[in-house]
Chain A
Amino acid sequence: MPVIVAGIGLAIVISLGIGYLLYASERPPVYRTAAPSVRIDHPGENLVGPDWSGLYKTPPQASEERQTASQED
């Protein structure tokens, strides 16, 4: 009986081992080469730093810049 159990166990180990390798090799390259990713809207996990509020700051318009410059003159 121990030999039967050992034989069944050996079959399971070999099949799972090679099965896992096959599964890994069958995965599409996009998954195989994927790196850990981050969510864009998580402060501290993106390129704009931990203080980013997620709000887009509108750059000053050119006409406003000219107006400001003339006031300074």
Chain B
Amino acid sequence: MKSRMAALVLAATLAAYTVPAMAQNNAPSPTGSNPTAQSVTEQQVLEELGKVKGRGAIPDPKEVVLEQPQGREYQAFHERLLPWIGGILTLGMLIALTVFYLMRGPITLDERPAGVRIKRFTVAERLTHWMTAASFIVLAITGLNYVFGKRLLLPLLGPEAFSVWSQWAKFLHNAFGWPFLLGVSVMAVLWLKDNLPDRYDLEWLREFGGFFSRRHPPARRFNAGQKLVFWSVAVGGGILILSGIVLLFPISSLDIGSLQTAQYVHAVFGMIMIAIIIAHIYIGTIGMEGASDAMVSGEVDLAWAKAHHRLWVEEEGARTPDGPQLGRSVPAE
């Protein structure tokens, strides 16, 4: 009531100054300016009623946000749209892979094992891969907790245990972003050359890697499917890292609106990456016979290498960063 009275008094005071000004002659002054035209009108005074005005005393102007209507859109995204996006992407991928596995089964090797083991990945490559993989799994689990935790875990754990878990999840999410950054950067450098597109990729994609035809399209060290995973990790991971760093140091360089934008990007790309990596884990384990050997022991059977990466064996001598392992005389079967 007091504030309303104060506003009315303010309006009356301003009007008292305004009305005489309006009554003055509208003719321009000798200097060419028109003070009457620049004076406050009654309508302007009325429009100011009911508005919160003043100066924020917080030194950083980015932090002086009293009202932010966009926050409602952000909340709608975070609380309603994002869980749907995440649920459809992750569960959809799991269901699709399950159906594919039940229909097709694992991709087996038609040829008999040659009994000759060749190096597929060096120690440095595998170490980087597993460091990044471990980091991503922690990031994915703790990231999903942000979206689904209070819906799925809170009713099971109760508020106290869920609070403790969520605090640790937040710490782990912030901490494991750094080895993920390092791993993605090193992998991008190590595997960039072998993941550049070539003319065999279209054929591989056209035949969908032979997953249904049971024929293995020719491929060099990495086939088109692996290249898609590589570029998804390099680009998607890069976007996650950049947006994650923005979120890790809030208000340090951007305002609240930009932080919300970073959160949109981080959350959506995080869900997409989780879905892609679920497919990657499937094909690297139960989806393809012999595929896990490459990253576990670093070696694969020569027959497996010829079947899945024929050009890598025949044209490149099974070259790794350590150099080619085979001569050019490897027979094509």
Contact = CB atoms under 8 A, between A and B. Distances in A.
B41 interface: no
Decide if the interface of chain A is mainly helix, strand, loop or mixed: helix
A14 B134 contact: no
Interface in B41-65: none
A15 B127 contact: no
Interface string B292-309: 000010100000000000
A43 interface: no
Contact of B175 (A1, A3, A10, A19): A19
Interface string B178-202: 1100110000000000000000000
A48 interface: no
B130 A7 contact: yes
A70 to B, nearest CB: 59
Interface string B81-124: 00000000000000000000000000000000000000000010
A4 B179 contact: no
Interface residues of A, number: 16
A15 B178 contact: yes
B243 interface: no
B174 interface: yes
B175 A7 contact: no
B171 A3 contact: no
A4 B172 contact: no
Contacts of A40: none
Nearest to A19: B175
A60 to B, nearest CB: 48
B326 interface: no
Interface in A1-52: 1, 3-4, 6-8, 10-12, 14-16, 18-19, 22-23
Given A14-B179, A15-B178, A8 B296 contact: no
A43 B132 CA distance: 56
Nearest to A7: B130
Given A10-B179, A19-B174, A3 B126 contact: yes
A7 B123 contact: no
Contacts of A19: 171-172, 174-175, 178
Contacts of A3: 123, 126-127, 130, 296, 298
Contact of A7 (B128, B174, B178): B128
23 contacts: A3-B126, A3-B127, A7-B128, A7-B130, A7-B131, A8-B130, A8-B134, A10-B127, A10-B131, A11-B132, A11-B135, A11-B179, A12-B134, A14-B131, A14-B178, A15-B138, A15-B175, A15-B176, A18-B178, A19-B171, A19-B172, A19-B174, A22-B248
Given A3-B296, A10-B127, A18-B178, 16 more contacts: A3-B298, A4-B130, A7-B130, A8-B134, A10-B131, A10-B179, A11-B132, A11-B134, A11-B138, A15-B138, A15-B175, A16-B175, A18-B175, A19-B175, A19-B178, A22-B174
